[in-house]
Structure 1
Amino acid sequence: MSSTTPSLLEGATRTLAEFSAQIRYPAIPAEVIERMKTSVLDSIGCCLYGATLPWTQHVQSMVEEEGAKPVASIFGHGSKTSVAGAVLVNATAGHAFELDDIHKESIVHAGSIATPVVLALAQQQGGVSGKTLLAAMTAGYEIGTRVGNAATMELFFRGFHPQGASGVFVAAASAAHMLGLDAVQTQHALGIVGSQAGGLMAAQEGAMVKRLHSGRAAQSGVYSAQLARRGFTGISDVLEAGYGGYLSSYSNKPNARRLTEGLGTVWEAGKVGYKPHACVTSIHAALDAFAHLIREHGLSPSDIARVEVGMSPMTYTHCAWEYKAQGVTAAQMNLFYGLAVIAFDGMAFVAQYTPERLAEPRLLDFIQRIEAHVDPEIEAMGPPFRHAARVAVTLRSGRRFTHEILHRRGSPENPLSPADVEYKFRHVVASCLTPKDIERTIQLVGRLEQLDDLSELIALLAAPRAQA
C-alpha cells in the first residue's frame, strides 16, 4: 500500500527543509521581524506566568529529579537542566494558561513552542545574536504553520490537538536552524519529528495534559534536530507521503498545496495574532460582542433573561459543550463560562480563571441563560471566519439587542498593537518580575536585532521567583 499510494505533493518536505535551512535575517521582511519580536515578548510573559502554575511545577519537579547536565535554564526557577528538559518545562509553561499567540489557519500557538526552544539552545551555545534567534524563530513559525494550514481544520475534527501535532514541526525547524543544520539534515529532523506528533482534544475538558502537549512538542523538536545532526534519519517525505505520512494520517481532507503555496513571498510567520483574554481563541469574538452589548446598553447580569450566540461549526464543536466545574482547563476552553465571567466581571483574564471561581453559584446560574448554535451564515463564510460570532441579548423587559464580530480582537484582521501586547505583558508578569526587570525585559526584546549576546535576557527569565 505504501509504495503505490500517490504522494500528496511531490518533494514538499524537501522544499520546506531547503527553505527553512537557508532563512537568514536580512531576507526576512521587516514587518515579519517586528511580529517575531512582539511574539517573543508575548511568549516570555506566557512562560513566566505559566511557570508559577501547579501543572508546570509537576513537570518541573519530574525533570529536576532526572538530574540532567545543566546547560539551559528553567524559567523563573534559577535551576538548569538539559535543553530537552528545559524546553519540556518552559513550553508547558508557555501554554499553561491559554495566553499564547495563535496563527488562525493552522490553529498553532507557535510562540509557546519556538521561544523556549531557541532560548534554550542559545543559552547552551553561548554568544548567539538576536538576529540569529529571530531567524530561527521565523523558520519555526513558517514551517510549523504551513504544516498546520495543510492539515486543515479536519485534523482538529478528528480529535487531534494542533499544538501537539503540527506544533512539533515548529520546534524541529526552530531547533534545526539554531543548530545550523543543512537542508538534508533539516529534512531528516522534520522526518523524525513527524513520528512524534500527538495530542488529543479530549484533554480540553478538564485534564492538565493539554498544557503538556506544547512541552512535548518542543522537546520532540529538540530531540529530532539533535538526532538529525548525528546522522539519524527520518521519513524523507513525512508531510506528503500518501500512506502513513503526516497529512494523510492526521487529516481527513488535507490541502497539501498549502505546504508550499507562496513560499518565500507570503510569510505565514507574519500572520500571527495575540490574545487579550486568558481563554481559548475561538470564543474571543463572542466575549467581545457580549461585552460590547453590556457596555453599550449599561446592562447588569440581573437585566438579562437570555444570551444567544451564533458561531462557526468549529467553535461550536470546540467550545459549546456543557460546562462542568472540572478544572481550569475546562473553564478556559468553554464558551458558557467565558460569557458568564464577562457578565459579572467585564473581562476574562487571569483572575477570572482561578480554581475558586469555577463553581461560583452566580456564574453557574447565569450559564443556564445562555444558548449556542451554529450560525448558517457564518458557516457559509468558511474557515477564515471560524472565530466569528453573533450575540443576541434578550432582557427581562423583553427588549433585544444584537452585535456581531467577524474578526476577533487580536487577529491580523483586527490586530492588537505592539503597545497592546506590551500592556498585556506588564499585567501578566506583574507577580513574576520586579518593575525594574519588567522594563529591562521590554527594552531588550524591543532591540533584539541589535543584541550580540542574549545572556542578559536569559538571566532575567531564569532568575528564581518567590512562587517557585
Structure 2
Amino acid sequence: MSQPAVLAQPGPTAELCRWISTVQLGDIPPELLTRAKYLILDGIACALVGAHLPWSEKAAAALLDLEYSGPGAAATLFGWDRKVTPLTAALLNGTFIQGFELDDWHRDAPLHSNSILLPALLAAAEHMGTPPPPDHYKGDGRAAPRHFSGADLLLAYVVGCEVGPRVGLGLRGADVLSHGWHSGAVFGPSAAAAAVSKLLGLSAEAVEDALGIACTQAGGLMSAQFESEVKRMQHGFAARNGLLGATLARGGYVGIKKVYERKYGGFLTMFSSGNGKEPQYKPEEVCKDLGKKWQIEGVLVKPYAAMAGTHCTVDCLAALRAAHPERTRQFDNIKSIRIEMSEAAFHHGGWKPERPLTATGAQMCNAYVGATYLVDEQVTPAQFRTDKLDRDQVWQLVDATTCEENKSYASTGLGKTSQRVTISFKDGSPSISHEELAPKGVLPPLTNQEILYKWRLVTQSVIEDKKRDSIEHAILKLQECTDISVLGTLMAGMTKNPIA
C-alpha cells in the first residue's frame, strides 16, 4: 500500500524533514562540532553520576523485573553490568542523565538534550551493530550487523540539538512551562526521532513518519517537580518514544503527516491550546534560519546541581555573600529574603515548599536552593542527600524567603533569566540587594575547558581514573572512531552512588 505524497506539500514539517535527511557533517561549522563533543562529555558525566542514585536504582529494579535479557538484548545500561533491550535502555539511561539536575538545558526552548539524544542514539547504534540470534524475526533488517562511526553519531546528535529547540520555539519556548507542561518531555520526542532517523539514514518521507509517531507520544506534567520521582524519568520517556518513532518509520509504519502545522489535533495546535497568546503558536519558528542559525549554540551546561531557574538566585546570593560576608552569615538576624524573577521562572521554581521536602522538590525550588547556598556556600549533589534535607538552619531561611514575579523581566531574551535578591534584617539595618541579568553558564556560557573541568570533578567519585580518561579520549576524538559500540563498552560497569 503506497503512502500518500503529503511531503510534496509546502510547510514546516516538510522543510524540516528534507533538511534532516540531507544535512551533512560538512554543513556544520567546525567549532560547533567541537562544542558538541564537550556537550556529549557532559551528558556522559551526568549519566554516570545518576546511574546509582536511589531513585535511579528503584526505576531500574522495577523495569529490569520486566526486562528481557536473553539473546538480542544488546543495549548498554550506563553505569551497570547489564545489557537490555533498546527501548528500556533509552528510558533508563535518559532517567540517569536527568537524575540529579546536573545536565544541560536550552536557553530559549527549555529541554535537556543529552538525556534525550544520547540514550536513543547509543541504544539504536548498539542494537543495529549486534548480530541477531538465529531464530530472530528478519523484519527489522538486521540480517547483518551495521556499525556507525563517531562522525555518524556526531552528525545525528547535532541534528537532534537543532530539532528539539526549534519545535519548542514553535510553542513559544518556556511558555509551556508557565502552563504546567514539562517542556522537555513535550519537545523531546521530536529531537530523539530526528536524531535516530538521521543515524539510520531514513528518507525525508520516513523522517516525517518518525516525527509524527514521536509527537503523538509527547507529554509530561510539570507537577512532577514537587514530590515525585517521575520527573527524573520524563526525558527518558522522550528518548524512548523518539527511538520508537524512528524504528517504526524505518519499518514502513505510517505516522501523522504535517504534524507541526495540522489545525485539528496537530502538535503545535494542541500543546499551545488555551495559552491566550496571539498568535497561539509560531510554526515558522520550526524552520527559521535552518542551517544558518544553529540552536546548539543555545545548549548550556549547568555549574550547579539544581534546576536552571535557581542558578541566578545562587549567583545573586554569592554576590551578596562576597560583599557582605558577616551580615549574610548572621542567620538569626535575617528577617526576609525576597527573590524576584520572570514569569516562567516563578511558575517553575517560585513555589513555597513544605517541610519535609524530597531531593527532587529541593532541587526545583528557588527558596530551598537559595537557603542551602547561604548555609553551605555550594550547590553540589552532597547538598541533597537525604540527611541534609531537613536541617533546621536551612528551613529557617526557607521560611523567611518569598518569591514573586517581576513583570519587568521579559519572557524572552535575557529577561527570562534575570533575578533580583533582597535581604532585610531584624535589627533595622539597611537591606541589601543584588540583581543579575543571567546566571553563570548563561552569561557567559561555560567554556569547553570549564566543561572538561566539570566532567573530571563530578566523575572522580563515581568511576576510576583510568575509565574516566578512556571515555574522555574517546569522546574528544570522536571523529576518529570507526565503531561507536566502543562507547557502550566504556559506559558499562557499576558506578558508585555520589550521595551515599
Structure 1 outlier segments of 4+, above 3 Å: 381-384
Q: Distance in 2 between matches of 1:156 and 1:371?
A: 20
Report the alpha carbon displacement of residue 266 of structure 1 after superposing the two structures with TM: 0.5
Partner of residue 39, structure 1: 39
Q: Distance in 1 between matches of 2:107 and 2:435?
A: 19
Task: Find the residue that maps to 1:242 and give its secondary structure.
Answer: coil
Is contact 1:91–1:214 with CA below 8 Å preserved after alignment?
A: yes
Q: Indicate yes or no: 2:320 matched with 1:317.
A: no
Is contact 2:182–2:220 with CA below 8 Å preserved after alignment?
A: yes
Per-residue Cα deviation, 1:379-403 (whole angstroms, up to 9, x for no partner):
4x74542111111223445132222
Partner of residue 246, structure 2: 225
Is contact 2:49–2:497 with CA below 8 Å preserved after alignment?
A: no
Q: Distance in 2 between matches of 1:301 and 1:176?
A: 57
Q: Indicate yes or no: 2:321 matched with 1:291.
A: no
Match of 2:151 among 115, 125, 131: 131
Report the alpha carbon displacement of residue 162 of structure 1 after superposing the two structures with TM: 1.1
Partner of residue 92, structure 1: 95
Report the alpha carbon displacement of residue 292 of structure 1 after superposing the two structures with TM: 1.2
Partner of residue 22, structure 1: 22
Partner of residue 196, structure 2: 175
Q: Distance in 2 between matches of 1:177 and 1:63?
A: 28
Report the alpha carbon displacement of residue 462 of structure 1 after superposing the two structures with TM: 1.1
Per-residue Cα deviation, 1:221-255 (whole angstroms, up to 9, x for no partner):
11110100111011111111112111100013312
Report the alpha carbon displacement of residue 466 of structure 1 after superposing the two structures with TM: 5.2
Is contact 2:340–2:405 with CA below 8 Å preserved after alignment?
A: yes
- Going from structure 1 to structure 2, the CA distance change for 1:64 and 1:235 (only over 3 Å counts) comes to same
Task: Find the residue that maps to 1:171 and give its secondary structure.
Answer: helix
Is contact 2:159–2:194 with CA below 8 Å preserved after alignment?
A: yes
Partner of residue 464, structure 1: 494
Decide which structure has the larger Cα Rg and report it. 2
Q: Distance in 1 between matches of 2:189 and 2:407?
A: 34
Structure 1 unaligned residues grouped into runs of 5+: 1-8
Q: Distance in 2 between matches of 1:342 and 1:262?
A: 40
Task: Find the residue that maps to 2:186 and give its secondary structure.
Answer: coil
Letter in 2 for 1:67: Y
Q: Indicate yes or no: 2:193 matched with 1:189.
A: no
Task: Find the residue that maps to 1:70 and give its secondary structure.
Answer: coil
Q: Distance in 2 between matches of 1:304 and 1:425?
A: 36
Letter in 2 for 1:269: I
Letter in 1 for 2:460: A
Partner of residue 164, structure 1: 185
Is contact 1:151–1:250 with CA below 8 Å preserved after alignment?
A: yes
Q: Distance in 1 between matches of 2:330 and 2:182?
A: 34
Q: Distance in 1 between matches of 2:201 and 2:59?
A: 29
Match of 1:332 among 347, 363, 379: 363
Is contact 2:110–2:184 with CA below 8 Å preserved after alignment?
A: yes
Partner of residue 464, structure 2: 434
Report the alpha carbon displacement of residue 80 of structure 1 after superposing the two structures with TM: 0.6
Partner of residue 4, structure 1: none
Partner of residue 373, structure 1: 404
Q: Distance in 2 between matches of 1:146 and 1:244?
A: 19
Letter in 2 for 1:130: G
Task: Find the residue that maps to 1:308 and give its secondary structure.
Answer: strand
Structure 2 unaligned residues grouped into runs of 5+: 1-8, 130-146
Q: TM-score, normalised by structure 2?
A: 0.88
- Going from structure 1 to structure 2, the CA distance change for 1:122 and 1:364 (only over 3 Å counts) comes to same
Partner of residue 440, structure 2: 409
Partner of residue 116, structure 1: 119
Q: TM-score, normalised by structure 1?
A: 0.94
Letter in 2 for 1:92: T
CA RMSD in angstroms, aligned pairs only = 1.8
Match of 2:286 among 255, 259, 262: 259
Q: Distance in 2 between matches of 1:433 and 1:110?
A: 23
Report the alpha carbon displacement of residue 103 of structure 1 after superposing the two structures with TM: 0.6
- Going from structure 1 to structure 2, the CA distance change for 1:383 and 1:35 (only over 3 Å counts) comes to same
Partner of residue 56, structure 1: 56
Q: Distance in 1 between matches of 2:437 and 2:128?
A: 45
